[in-house]
Amino acid sequence: MFCFLLWHIWKNRNNSIFKQERCPFHEIITRAIRHQEEYVEAQKLNSNPLRTTRAASSNSLYAHPAAGMIKVNFDAAVSLKQNRGASATYVHGMIGVGDSLIAGDNGAQSWLSPSGDFAFGFRQLEKRDLYLLAIWYNKIPDKTIVWFANGDDPAPAGSQVKLIAHRGLVLTSPQGTEIGKSGMLWGAAYGFMNDTGNFIISSSGSEILWQSFDHPTDTLLPGQALERLSPELTLGWGGQMLSSRLTETNFSRGRFQFRLIIDGNAVLNTNNLPTGFPYDAYFWSDTVDSNLSNAGLRVVFNESGYLYVLRANGTRQLLTRGKVVPAAENYHRVTLNFDGVLVQYWHPKSSTGNGGNWSIIRSMPDNICTDIVGGQGTGPCGFNGVCQLNIDERPICSCPQRFSLLDPNDSHGGCRPDFYTQSCEEDVSNSPEDFDFLELENTDWPTSDYERYLPYNMEECKKACSEDCFCSVIVFREGLLEEEAATVKWIPQSIERTAESNLRCFSYEELFIATDGFKEVVGRGSFGIVYKGVVEMGTKVPVAVKKLDKIVEEGEKEFRTEVEVIGQTHHKNLVQLVGFCDEGQHRLLVYEFLRNGTLANFLFKEAKLNWNQRTQIAFGIARGLAYLHEDCSTQIIHCDIKPQNILLDDHYDAKIADFGLAKLLLLDQSQTFTAIRGTKGYVAPEWFRNMPVTVKADVYSFGVLLLEIICGRKCVDTEVSAERAILTEWAYDCYEDGIISALFENEEEAMNDMKKLKRFLEVAIWCIQEDPALRPTMKMAILMLEGIVEVTAPPCPCPFTTVVG
């Protein structure tokens, strides 16, 4: 696909940049939860103000977000002073009426939760003498903000937040002007900064009058939920949804929302900035149902770190993929980032763990560059912005040549042309000689089509656009022309372009520096060595650089195959190709870096993965192969499935690597003849028999690998007895003789899961059938592994090679 951007040859024209007005502060909506567990009389100021039964498991106040119940537990009396101010002492978590904090006061302390995990107070905005009233993680280096009150109206230095009876939290300027408040809260007696990250205001009778969990901003914390919108409910900034920031450092309301809408779907959508009006969704939870008693009722982020949509019938639709790290040792959060990507993160409570960074569990959507295709609003990069997907599934934004950022400090805010665009005004020159085309490969403008020419060659396309005063862009795709521009209802430059190929082209010097001179070897793949490196892609990103040293014909074919194929694939169980280098004799591939290395590192050593981990790895490999075989625009045969080509991420999720031996098939082809490819022990029999090679060759390799995964040994092992040396043969013998347990010596966990173990073994034997027609497809294999499709007893996998006496 080629895109041609029409630009004006005249240069140095001045274009004005319009600055967007900041929306006025929107007052936080107050919703009191009227449910009281018990009435506790207020005591004297120098005694425990809330007396309840002591709980053995906790010494902190906590709230159940669904029921709105509050329980307070203190072992010791606290001293609360009558004359409270910014410098008053207090017990962690407890805030009394009259307590206050002052922005910019170096002596003022924030209000901490009992454990010190969370803090409530003022945070200074970057490079500005303005402050944000916020809640943040207090014990990790970057002090990540999880809630804020005045993003649209930052407070100047000297502003004060104070807990006032009957008024709640009130934020005032140094001159005493009210900036915002939590609302009229009759009977407000105490505030509490909870260890869950929830700030609560309660009455003297322990009734919750207000809590920050009811008014999320851009982040959900464990224990927090979003309710389904009611038809009569109109939401602004705050409320029961997540709304992104405008930029990473500008906390004004942004362009993206996460909501559970009326039909029961949890969606991500863009919105109109001035009004908050929602535009088309670009992610759905698929929990819609015409019968609302079966549709999504609320989005829940539970205390264990799992995000899901709870249907009205009690069933759950998980949004979190795989297993999460334990919440007892790790922080969890779900944040709608300013670029529209909803990300679930975890971070060790020990700030030194994991390099002090947040790790990603899941990003939604999978590819925001291509998923936002609505006719209204802008995508993650603004109008005219180039969107490319980073390794962390966040967008990288840039401007086309001869375009400039609308805001030099905001790469996601859109671009303006540095030239006069074509115009249909009579007094404006529109001569074809005044314009030229910029060619952009693998790029599309997904909307604003208004003409289509078929058949037309490239020159005819250019001529048609240059003679059309409405035309700004032409898209030439595989011999088809789609002419895309704005009609009279659209400004011509209000078109956002999306890069179909998200690969970055590196120079050899860049990769030499990134790998410190190709210093650290992390593996050896087909035709080359793999090195660890770090590249700059907005942030410093660790990568694996595969250097193809053997520049022979076959090596160049592998390089081109990998660049073309992997760059157009995107699946959680495939290793992501970040970029490449094709400079002179240098051929390099740049992949995401996975610290756990290959499956082989764990499968055949004493410190083996447990049974549950191994089964989940098998599922991941199967899903990745099913995607390659059936869900790609171009069908892909991997041809070399083996443990060394399966990488494991931080959560031990499997990712298929090394597409260097992949054989591409056109959609109208189902088989191909080719030279033998693959690794001994995993290669399907048809490779040796001049038979047609189809995706069933990968199914065979998967069957061998599945046996290795469930048995925890190599497919060929010369150090054991002859009858056990070939795993495929020994496994079937054990199955046929009814002694499956012989395959799993000292594997108590697997033996306790005999039903699944037998099912996996039977699927593996079906996959290694010599006759390709007997092997299941990968999608069918998944259904069999999951137990959705019944697995019948498999026949002998190698009848063709049986010796008859």
- What is the C-alpha separation between 560 and 731, in angstroms, rounded? 39
Contact 173, 159 (CB under 8 A): yes
- Which one, of 769, 772, 777, 771, lies nearest residue 794 by Cα? 769
547 is in an annotated binding site: yes
Name residue 83's amino acid. Answer: N
State phi, psi for 141 to the nearest 5 degrees.
-60, -40
- Whether the CB-CB separation of 394 and 337 falls below 8 Å is answered with yes
Q: Locate 741 and state its tokens.
A: 């347990």
Is the sign of the CA dihedral 367, 373, 374, 377 positive or negative? positive
Q: Rounded to the nearest 10 degrees, what angle do helices 696-711 and 611-626 cross at?
A: 170
Encoded tokens for 365:
């959507």
For helices 754-767 and 778-786, what crossing angle results, to 10°? Answer: 160
**Cα–Cα distance measured from residue 711 to residue 551, given in angstroms and rounded to the nearest whole number:** 39
Task: Report the phi/psi class of residue 116: left, alpha or beta, with left for phi > 0 and alpha for psi in -120 to 50.
Answer: left
Parallel, antiparallel, or unpaired: how do β-strands 497-499 and 386-389 relate? parallel
User: Which of 247, 535, 285 is CA-nearest to residue 392?
Assistant: 535
Residue 369, SS3?
helix
Tokens of 374: 């609505």
The Cα–Cα gap between 361 and 322 comes to 8
Residue 2 tokens read as: 């080629």
| Coil vs helix vs strand at 482 | strand
Token reading at 58: 């906790």
> What's the N-to-C CA distance of the chain in angstroms?
61
Which two three-digit tokens encode residue 414? 């859109």
Marked catalytic residue, from 218, 371, 468, 640: 640
Quick one: how far is CA 221 from the chain centroid?
A: 17
β-strand partners of 587: 582
Residue 640 annotated as catalytic: yes
Q: How far apart are CA 95 and CA 102, in angstroms?
A: 15
Residue corresponding to tokens 């951007």? 5
Contact between 415 and 461 under an 8 Å Cβ cutoff? The reply is: no
Decide if 173 contacts 179 (C-beta within 8 A): yes
Q: Looking at the DSSP assignment, which residues form a beta bridge with residue 253?
A: 245
Nearest to 262 by CA among 243, 282, 245, 240: 240
**623: β partners:** none
Distances (CA, A) of 574 to 506, 537, 620: 22, 20, 9
- Closest by Cα among 159, 156, 214, 222 to 195: 222
- How is residue 299 written in tokens? 């989005």
Q: Quote the CA–CA distance of 590 and 562 in Å, as a whole number.
A: 11
User: What is the per-residue burial (b if ≥16 Cβ within 10 Å, else e) of 755-791?
Assistant: ebbebbbbbbbbbbbbebeebbebbbbbbbbeeeeeb
Helix (H, G, I), strand (E, B) or coil at 560: helix
Beta carbons of 546 and 518 less than 8 angstroms apart:
no
Helix (H, G, I), strand (E, B) or coil at 266: strand
In angstroms, the CA 596 to CA 168 distance is 50
User: What's the gap between Cα 565 and its chain centre?
Assistant: 22
User: Binding site: what residues are annotated?
Assistant: 547
Residues with a catalytic annotation lie at 640
User: Binding site for ATP: what residues are annotated?
Assistant: 547
